[in-house]
Amino acid sequence: MEHRRVGRAGLKVSALSFGSWVTFDQQLNDDAALECLQTAWDAGVTFFDNAEAYAGGESERIMGRCFERLGWARETYTVSTKFFWGLRDGPNTRLTLNRKYLMQGIDRSLERFGLNHVDLVFCHRADPETPMEEVVWAMHDMVSSGRAHYWGTSEWTADQIREADELAERHHLHRPVVEQPQYNLLHRERVEEEYASLFTDIGIGLTTWSPLASGLLTGKYAAGIPNDSRGSLPGYEWLAKRLTNSETLAKVGRLQAVANDLDCSLAQLSIAWCARNPRVSTVITGASRVSQMRENLAALEVLDALDDRLGDDAETQGKREPQQLGALARHARCRQSRGRS
């Protein structure tokens, strides 16, 4: 599998990665999670994404136990975690990026993982109440101490990222190297418009999440919410309304026609489309079973079938209407057929 640099950093991550949000603990026990991790590894995936808040910390524990059972050499894989949401109520334990929370949070996270460091650590959201200088110094110290190798942000605005970077540069501190935003065929503006200048000015990398828009871009919600889907899980009622929006489902239907033209699944088309963006370091995928993992990983095969214009530069990629994508897909399919002859 192709490995890409994380922005200006020297670190490389696999073009597709595996994340544990929602699935670990709620849908995958240790054995099932291990099987998915091994399947991803066998396909060349080397980056695994997690967060303190996922399953109340249990997601990190499951992933850590799996790493121990799998026995991979620590230098051969990359793992991340994130902080902001917290695990318990209290003035310094939830919805904050203050120094006390961050420094204690990374220690507890490493304990849950059973590791002595993570490779990437993210500020899971911005904190308007903690001074940016305090946040940047804490993240710098986290990296300087060896608990993490690089730090970044998740769902921060371009202005917030720029402020953090300028502050770090001014004080000769470790600068943020990566942002983790949502990015998919239905959610593009932040990456393609708001962040545009950050790529050239700062050299920020992207580890993007939700390439399937919480399952919408699989087509499985066209007839309602299946009982075994993410939209049916307790605590995710907020998601159910989004998954059954008629206007969005109509867009999904048109994109399904594009996937049919490419002779691939809608999920594979959606993941491949994200991966074609040259600004994306890795596309974080999720799976609740091995069959889903294998289908998602097969998206790399779709990349070879896409016309260059279907996944061109970040300024024009994805701004085409589904019918235009369909015409390009048919052209790409013809090229693919000629290549096989």
What does 214-244 look like in DSSP terms, one character per residue?
A: GGGGGTTTTTS--TTSGGGSTT-HHHHHHHT
> Residue 105 corresponds to which tokens in the numbers above?
């949070």
Question: How far apart (Å, rounded) are the C-alpha atoms in residues 161 and 152?
Answer: 9
Question: How far apart (Å, rounded) are the C-alpha atoms in residues 326 and 324?
Answer: 5
Instruction: Output the pLDDT for position 336.
Output: 44
> Which positions ≥6 away from 43 have C-beta within 8 Å?
1, 16, 297
Question: How far apart (Å, rounded) are the C-alpha atoms in residues 301 and 278?
Answer: 17
Question: How far apart (Å, rounded) are the C-alpha atoms in residues 259 and 55?
Answer: 33
pLDDT category, 243, cuts 50, 70, 90? Answer: confident
Question: Is 236 marked active-site?
Answer: no
pLDDT category, 278, cuts 50, 70, 90? Answer: very high
Neighbours of 142 (CB within 10 A): 24
> Which positions ≥6 away from 198 have C-beta within 8 Å?
158, 161, 162, 179, 204
Q: Which residues pair with 232 in a beta bridge?
A: none
pTM for this predicted structure: 0.88
Question: How far apart (Å, rounded) are the C-alpha atoms in residues 309 and 327?
Answer: 11
Instruction: Output the pLDDT for position 26.
Output: 87
Ranking 31-45, 54-68, 94-108, 248-262 by mean pLDDT, the lowest is: 248-262
Which residue from 314, 311, 284 is spatially nearest to 297, judged by alpha carbons? 284
Higher pLDDT, 315 or 75: 75
pLDDT more than 90, % of the chain: 77
pLDDT category, 8, cuts 50, 70, 90? Answer: very high
Which residue from 316, 310, 209 is spatially nearest to 264, judged by alpha carbons? 310
Secondary-structure percent of the chain, ordered helix, strand, coil, rounded to 5: 50, 15, 35
Q: Using one digit for the tens of pLDDT, what is the confidence trace for 17-46?
A: 999 998 998 899 999 999 999 999 999 999
Question: How far apart (Å, rounded) are the C-alpha atoms in residues 315 and 309?
Answer: 12
Question: How far apart (Å, rounded) are the C-alpha atoms in residues 209 and 80?
Answer: 13
**Are 194 and 161 within 8 A, CB to CB?**
no
Query: Reduced to 3 states, what is the DSSP secondary structure of residue 150?
Result: strand
3-180: which CATH topology? TIM Barrel (3.20.20)
> Residue 89 corresponds to which tokens in the numbers above?
């109520």
pLDDT category, 246, cuts 50, 70, 90? Answer: confident
Ranking 38-42, 66-70, 202-206, 315-319 by mean pLDDT, the lowest is: 315-319
Query: What is residue 233's DSSP assignment?
Result: S
Instruction: Output the pLDDT for position 152.
Output: 98
